[in-house]
Amino acid sequence: MCNWSNFQLHKPTYISICSKLTYNLIEALIFLAHFIGDVHHHQPLHFGFTGDLGGNTITVHWCHMKTNLHHVWDNIIIDSALKTFYGSDLANMIQAIQNNMTEGWSNQLSLWECCQKNQRVCLNLKIELISKELRMDSSGGLLRWSSFAFVMFVGMATVLVPGALGWSKEGHIMTCRIAQNLLGPEAAHAVEHLLPHNLKGDLSALCIWPDQIRHWHKYRWTSSLHFIDTPDKDCTFDYSRDCVKDLCVAGAIQNFTSQLLHYREGTTDRRYNLTEALLFLSHFMGDIHQPMHVGFTSDEGGNTIELHWFRHKSNLHHVWDREIILTALKDFYENDMDLLQETIEGNFTDGIWYDDVSSWKDCDDLLSCPNKYAVESINLACKWGYKGVKEGATLADDYFNSRMPIVMKRIAQGGVRLAMFLNEIFGDSEEGIASAA
């Protein structure tokens, strides 16, 4: 007889197989899968100390919530990561872990799989590995994988970071997609070559990466590269005055452009990480076109000007980073970003901006053209961003309707100019735009 013991979840189709066997293979499979999980990663504390029941009796606080150390490792760390980095989408998180397996951890996989057909030895080996990793982790805080794998890990994540970060992710993604559609073959090839392979050449997937890493210790120096502070009410930009030591978005575009110019030399010079340079350039070309990223010093580009956007709280900077784009998406595009992007593209390939495109691309010297874009931004910030806005105001239809076209045009200009830069840097300028137009 087949012994189901108290297992209730069997399905009729399994019964015939089961009935021929002495062992209940379904239960065995389920138990095996579960215990292999327990013995592994998410539960080092299943091999904890006897006295505290593997951390179960150690009461701790996680943020403001009372819990115990065992539960932190059982659940809370995973839940927090899921919420913070993956928009609560488990599939996203699994994908990220898998990416690490194929990249950063790939040379360890054979070790993980090492097993000599003796179950006891195998388990012991794995337990040892776990405790080794634990020691490493507690010294450094973060899991250690190669920084390249980390780029991908974060790249796949939807990170919700509070505060002002440049065009919202929608703004950056559209800027990068518009640019990518305008690349000539050589630039397209170089971009694909520089990006992590699992992205299949999709630049937009990592365009927001510089916002995600700007607060990390290693990249903290980049956080002033996203904007320019100009003197209050002056409405001018002066590189030597406002971009001290090149630490501003115009300086950053110069810097990463000159790094990328080494690509054609086939440089093996380790000073240049050309993948990072590409991601930074692509991101900053977006930021410099967001008018409020070239704003006044005392209000931090509108960040400290709190107000209402329709019925919810926001600030002037964020209105330009994201609110206008989100409202446009919701009201006119059924939240379909592709549709909005196509509309923007339609406006310059064949619509109201068609005649302007050649002047947008006009640039004799890649290293000084960003100054022009910064001047445009501060002018727009004064004329449209700050104009008529007071702390505590409610911005609604009037503001939205008059500013939305400007936001869309800046995204278009950012995309067209990023393509122009990449085409110049990597080889075949003009071709891209010509073929698209």
Residues lying near Zn ion in the complex (CB under 5 A) are found at: 164, 166, 211, 226, 287, 321
Distances (CA, A) of 311 to 330, 394, 396: 15, 8, 9
CA atoms within 13 A on the CB side of 119: 4
**Considering the complex, what minimum distance in angstroms separates the CB of residue 280 from Zn ion?**
10
Nearer to Zn ion, 103 or 287 (CB): 287
Nearer to Zn ion, 227 or 348 (CB): 227
**Considering the complex, what minimum distance in angstroms separates the CB of residue 377 from Zn ion?**
12
Nearer to Zn ion, 210 or 432 (CB): 210
Nearer to Zn ion, 253 or 433 (CB): 253
Nearer to Zn ion, 99 or 212 (CB): 212
Of 261, 397, 282, the closest CA to residue 331 belongs to 397
Nearer to Zn ion, 59 or 297 (CB): 297
**Considering the complex, what minimum distance in angstroms separates the CB of residue 148 from Zn ion?**
22
**Taking a C-beta distance cutoff of 8 angstroms, is the pair 348, 337 a contact?**
no
**Considering the complex, what minimum distance in angstroms separates the CB of residue 332 from Zn ion?**
23
Residues 172 and 321: their CA atoms lie apart, in Å, by: 10
**Considering the complex, what minimum distance in angstroms separates the CB of residue 166 from Zn ion?**
2
CB closest to Zn ion, residue no: 166
State the burial class of residue 322 (Cβ atoms within 10 Å of its Cβ: 0-12, 13-18, 19+). buried
**Considering the complex, what minimum distance in angstroms separates the CB of residue 105 from Zn ion?**
30
Nearer to Zn ion, 224 or 429 (CB): 224
Residues 409 and 78: their CA atoms lie apart, in Å, by: 41
**Considering the complex, what minimum distance in angstroms separates the CB of residue 180 from Zn ion?**
18
**Considering the complex, what minimum distance in angstroms separates the CB of residue 281 from Zn ion?**
12
**Considering the complex, what minimum distance in angstroms separates the CB of residue 223 from Zn ion?**
9
Nearer to Zn ion, 164 or 425 (CB): 164
Nearer to Zn ion, 287 or 299 (CB): 287
